[in-house]
Structure formats: C-alpha cells, structure tokens
Amino acid sequence: MLRSTPLLAIALLVAGCTASASSDPARNVADFAPTGQVEALRLPFDAYAFSLSEMYAISNAEDLLTQQCMRAKGHDWQVIKRPTDLKDLRNRRRYGVIEIRIAQQFGYHVPEGLLTPAEVEQQYDRRDSGMSETQREAALGEGGCGHEAVKQLRPAEAADPERLQQLGRESLVNSQDEPRVTAAMDSWRNCMRETGFTYQDPFAAMSDSKWWADDSAGPSRDEISVAVADVRCKERTSLIDVWHATEVKIQEELITRYPDYFQQLGASMRHELTAAHAVLARM
C-alpha cells in the first residue's frame, strides 16, 4: 500500500543516485526493452525478496483492506491499479547503467518508468495530493487503516527483510574485492582512461557530483559521454558477466551459511503472498 524501494535499485542506493529524467514523449521508456543481459541478471537472493509484481499484488490487497476499513470510518480511499504481470528486472541497475541505448539518451539518470511503471507512480501522486489531513491520519497514522492492513497480511513472526537488504549490500561491495572482479575492474578502468575519463569504478562514474548538482536538469552532454564510455568499457572487458557470476557465488555461500534465516524468510514471503491472494480472490 505504501511505496517501496525494491532490491533491484540497491546499486543506485549504494551510489546515492536515484534521480529520474523527466518525462518526454520523444524519449518514451517503452522504447527501451530490456536487453538479454538485463533479463539474465538473476541472483540467489531474488528468491527471498518480492519481485515488483509480487509487491504490487500485496499492495493491491492492502489497498482493498484499507478501503474497507476507511469506509467503516466514513472516509474514502482511492485504490491504485497496479499490474502484476511485469517482467522481473530488479537487477537492471545493480551494476550501474549497462544498456547502451539508455546511456546514449539518459546518461546515468533513470528514465521515468524504467524501474517502476510511470502510471502507477502518477496514481500515488494523485492520491497523496488529494488526501485531506483527516484521511491521511485515518489511513497512515498510528493504528491507521493502512498499518492494520499490512498487519493482516504479514505473519506474526516475520523474518527481518532488512537483514536481507544488508546482506545484499555486503555481497555487492565484497564482490569487488574478489580477484576476478578486481582484474576486470582494472581493465574497465584502463579502458575508461583510454577514452579520456578517470574513475575508480562504475559507481564513482555514476555518482560524480557534476551529474547531480541540479535534480531538475536532464543529463548533460558530458554525463552522456561518460555513461556511454562506461557501458562500452563494461562490454569490452566483460565486467558485468564476471561481476555477476562472482556475486552469485557469494550469495549462494551466504544462503548456506544462514539456513535458518533464509528458511524463515521464505516462509514469511509465502505466508504474505498467500494471504494477499486470498484477499484479492474474495474482494
């Protein structure tokens, strides 16, 4: 029911860069179908975190429960229509920008609608802006309908999902210290230097303060030049293939190291999804 930041955006969170490029009919994100490489970026932790479609199914159920509760209190509640048949592209930007067509038009900025459907975000904006303070308190205040809806779907003793996010951040960071990734990163760095750019790693290129000085501005020509070189050098050095394969092994080892946690996490997910689908079926 509330907006969530899926694990697919974790690389952006690490780098501190989440600004979106503004909407432009000439730059329709629908033109940017995911590459085969993007679709192949699956990680072991993905099985223990909701996909965007699963999160939307849960949010749809929470919305219906919230609406029922709000009506009982004499308030209206706008139900948001969220698709639940989306491709699972949660790792699309985990290693920074890796799609040349996006780099050529948007640099490091995230095109509106790339990670979450623009129409869903617009529905959230309309609901938020049209809500009175009384409605907001009834829905989102302490003991409000929204919080009660969340509690109805989650198991009483749910595994801590923040621990998974922490482990995901650690696997991303620690993978960069593995010899194969270090060698590939050195090759990427040399490739970038040959094109006239000096950055320690792709996250340093992506988080260059020059690109983020004005959130309202689109990508500059310099930013686009660096982003294109970044993607070309990733392709030339096979950095993403090496990095991804290394992180797969790290995450597999972590799942083996903490079996009780991951079993509990999987059970919590199944409980919440089953409860959500039951609500959607009866309402």
d(CA 261, CA 266): 9
Number of other CB atoms surrounding residue 156 within 10 Å: 6
| Residue corresponding to tokens 């930007």 | 93
H helices then E strands: how many in the chain? 13, 2
- Given a contact cutoff of 8 angstroms between Cβ atoms, the answer to whether 199 and 189 are in contact is yes
CA separation, residue 145 to residues 138, 150, 201 (Å): 6, 9, 45
d(CA 153, CA 2): 14
CA-nearest of 82, 85, 264, 66 to 153 is: 66
d(CA 33, CA 101): 10
Non-local (6+) Cβ contacts of 194 within 8 A are none
How much is the pTM? 0.88
Which phi and psi (to 5°) does residue 232 adopt?
-60, -40
| pLDDT digits (tens), the chain, 283 positions | 555 444 434 444 444 455 566 545 344 556 689 999 999 999 999 999 999 999 999 999 999 999 999 999 999 999 999 999 999 999 999 999 999 999 999 999 999 899 999 999 999 999 999 999 999 999 999 999 999 999 999 998 889 999 999 999 999 999 999 999 999 999 999 999 999 999 999 999 999 999 999 878 889 999 999 999 999 999 999 999 999 999 999 999 999 999 999 999 999 999 999 999 999 999 8
- Crossing angle between the packed helical segments 145-153 and 259-282, to the nearest 10 degrees: 120
- Crossing angle between the packed helical segments 161-175 and 239-257, to the nearest 10 degrees: 140
Q: Coil, strand or helix: which one is 251?
A: helix
How does DSSP classify residue 84?
S
